[in-house]
Structure 1
Amino acid sequence: MRRAPAFAVLGFLAALAAELPAQPPGAWQSLVEAERAFAADSVRTTIREAFLAHLHPQSVLFNPGPVNGIELYTGRPPRAGQLAWAPEVVDVAVSGDFGYSTGPHQFRRTPDGEVLRQGYFCSVWVRSASAPWKVLIDLGTAQPTPVTLDVTPRDPTPAAGVSAGAGAAATLAEAERQFAQAAERDQVATYRALLARHARVYRDGGAPTEGVLPALEVIARRGTLARVTPEKTDVASSGDMGYAYGRLELADAGPGAAPVYYVRVWRHDPQGWRVVLDVDTWVATH
């Protein structure tokens, strides 16, 4: 019996989508303000204090692999320096309890000192009826070219998402599993099939890309993937947005090569799950 192609299965899963109620008023703006407050605290106090105040108890940071963020910063002494950033792209699930934010960041040793590191961050946020927005997942990239923090937040997808239905968590996990397997065979074709039109792709050492074609140019420069190992997926309560993170192994990586970790944000539309943000710590070459 012929096996159905992976992307045909994803299309079938899209047929299980359900209608969603309207997003709670002010949900998008509230996440923008939460990200801005986090950034302001980092400048006003210390990096350590700001992260401890805004991280979720189950937060995951990468050091270089996934670790609990609260435990990481609790055990880390305050360090000199100023980390500043600003939200540029923000999107929130229809439920209003899950979203992501991304934008430029800069690190200086002193407030008036030269920029020693810059790049882009990716943060997944969650909130509940009894708790404000907190950072659940955070991963960033670095690049040699300057960035500006003078950015205006925007919503990349003003149209509401479409719920994947009661089985959203299972269908996202399956989408991520199929993505990982397909990318091991042909990552360019896999990304071409499943990137959203407005998708952003970040790689260490290079500027962010937005849109499918620029992303594919960056992805094509990377060596063959020997293995993609998803470690965690989760979805918004509305079933229209979720994330995945895991580890990559490159076929041509030499002994002792640094591990590569990724975070992917998915959004469900009428055609199924699509990748809207893809970040990993592979060092891009230009």
Structure 2
Amino acid sequence: MALKLNFKLIAIVSLTLISFNTYAQKTYIQGLDDIIKSENNFAKAAADMNVKKAFLANLDSAGRIFNGSKSYNGIATYSKGPENNNALLEWYPTVAQVAATGDIGFTSGPFTYRAKRADTVIAYGYYFTVWKRDKNGLFKIMLDGGVTHSLNHSPLFKPEIKLQTAVDLKTRRAPSANKSIDFKLTETAFSTLADTDPAKAYQTYLSSKARLLRNNSLVQQDKIADLAAINKEQIKAYLFIQDGSGISAGNDFAYTYGSVNVTLNNSTEKPAGFYIRVWQFINNEWKIIADEVSYEMKTEK
């Protein structure tokens, strides 16, 4: 009797996993298509109309935009801004990832900026946007950041040509509800370690193919290259101060954001900036799959 009950329980659990994996695959693919379409429509609106109208049409009511060391409510900020039909901001996604449940994701890719549409490009960089479905099922911008390259770093701007959309759903099985607590504990553990040993923090928590964004640096998507880029920065400590976070319905995909104070190895200057970090539950542990830390050094006179 006990054997039969155990066999029945195993069968139910197995069917549940099969059912979830089928559901996850369908919702992931749908979510991926939707988020790429949303990003492309967003970029098209900026080109056809202007940046202000494009952002106001795509921002979530709680969406944040980043400038300097602070984040601001996007709708409130852009509502006060001027209409500028002469400037041209262009971009396109080269990377897109979403939760298995298709409700939260991010996109990233290169952008260029012209003060006037007929002028030459005066700014280069890579944007980084976190999206979340609203109550109507539409993807809206929750976080919008990015990194820039000064003009003397323009050779670093090498647009990628292949949209990276591959995902192994075998590593994306949704954890139980209490994994949302584990995510918060993991973020805290990472931030605590980054305040004393940044290299070890990233070595421990970066996924094998994380998207690393830093100003005036090539975007990296390989752990070895990621760690090399971080070591090159010569950071003694990151003090991350979280302002907010979010997690997918399936508890497999999450993000955090806030401000950061940076301590450098060979400088008394302590620049401030912001960070955006995306986590994914991979092989039964939380790993960083996208990370932006932006700060500016003071220019010596």
TM-score, normalised on structure 1? Answer: 0.86
- 100, 118, 129: which one pairs with 1:123? 129
Alignment of 1:35 with 2:39, yes or no, is yes
Most deviating of 166-175 and 38-47: 166-175
Listed one character per residue, the Cα deviations across residues 114-169 of structure 1 (whole Å, up to 9, x for unaligned) are: 11111111111111452411111111100222535573422153435232321233
Q: Is the 8 A contact 1:121 1:141 kept in 2?
A: yes
**Secondary structure, in 3 states, of the residue corresponding to 2:196?**
helix
Q: Which has the higher contact order (CA 8 A, sep 6+)?
A: 1
The residue that corresponds to 1:245 in the other structure is 257
**Secondary structure, in 3 states, of the residue corresponding to 2:161?**
coil
Query: Which amino acid letter does the alignment assign opposite residue 81 of structure 2?
Result: R
The residue that corresponds to 1:211 in the other structure is 222
Q: Offset of 1:231 from its aligned partner?
A: 2.2
Q: 1:165 to 1:34 in 2, by over 3 A?
A: same
- 260, 264, 286: which one pairs with 1:273? 286
Query: Which amino acid letter does the alignment assign opposite residue 88 of structure 2?
Result: Q
The residue that corresponds to 1:157 in the other structure is 167
The residue that corresponds to 2:275 in the other structure is 262
**5+ long unaligned stretches in structure 2:** 1-15
Query: Superposition pairs for residues 1-286 of structure 1, below 5 Å?
Result: 20=20, 21-22=23-24, 23-24=26-27, 25-64=29-68, 65-79=70-84, 80-128=86-134, 130-143=136-149, 144-146=153-155, 147=157, 151-159=161-169, 161-222=172-233, 223-225=235-237, 227-252=239-264, 254=268, 258-282=271-295
Q: 1:248 to 1:152 in 2, by over 3 A?
A: same
**5+ long unaligned stretches in structure 1:** 1-17
Identity %: 23
Listed one character per residue, the Cα deviations across residues 216-239 of structure 1 (whole Å, up to 9, x for unaligned) are: 111112321152222222101111
What is the alpha-carbon distance in structure 1 between the residues aligned to residue 127 and residue 161 of structure 2?
Answer: 14
Q: Is the 8 A contact 1:168 1:235 kept in 2?
A: no
The residue that corresponds to 1:3 in the other structure is none
Q: 1:258 to 1:224 in 2, by over 3 A?
A: closer
Q: Is the 8 A contact 1:85 1:149 kept in 2?
A: no
What is the alpha-carbon distance in structure 2 between the residues aligned to residue 163 and residue 229 of structure 1?
Answer: 28
**Secondary structure, in 3 states, of the residue corresponding to 2:36?**
helix
Higher helix content, 1 or 2: 2
What is the alpha-carbon distance in structure 2 between the residues aligned to residue 88 and residue 49 of structure 1?
Answer: 23
RMSD of aligned alpha carbons: 2.1
Q: Is the 8 A contact 1:102 1:121 kept in 2?
A: yes
Query: Which amino acid letter does the alignment assign opposite residue 154 of structure 1?
Result: Q
What is the alpha-carbon distance in structure 2 between the residues aligned to residue 111 and residue 196 of structure 1?
Answer: 39
Q: Is the 8 A contact 2:259 2:275 kept in 1?
A: yes
Count of equivalent residues: 266
Listed one character per residue, the Cα deviations across residues 70-113 of structure 1 (whole Å, up to 9, x for unaligned) are: 01101111234110000000011111111110111110122232
Query: Which amino acid letter does the alignment assign opposite residue 122 of structure 1?
Result: F
Q: 1:128 to 1:246 in 2, by over 3 A?
A: closer
Query: Which amino acid letter does the alignment assign opposite residue 80 of structure 2?
Result: G
Q: Offset of 1:279 from its aligned partner?
A: 0.6
Larger Rg: 2
**Secondary structure, in 3 states, of the residue corresponding to 1:32?**
helix
TM-score, normalised on structure 2? Answer: 0.82
Most deviating of 105-114 and 234-243: 105-114
Query: Which amino acid letter does the alignment assign opposite residue 287 of structure 2?
Result: R
Q: Is the 8 A contact 1:162 1:240 kept in 2?
A: yes
Query: Which amino acid letter does the alignment assign opposite residue 140 of structure 2?
Result: K
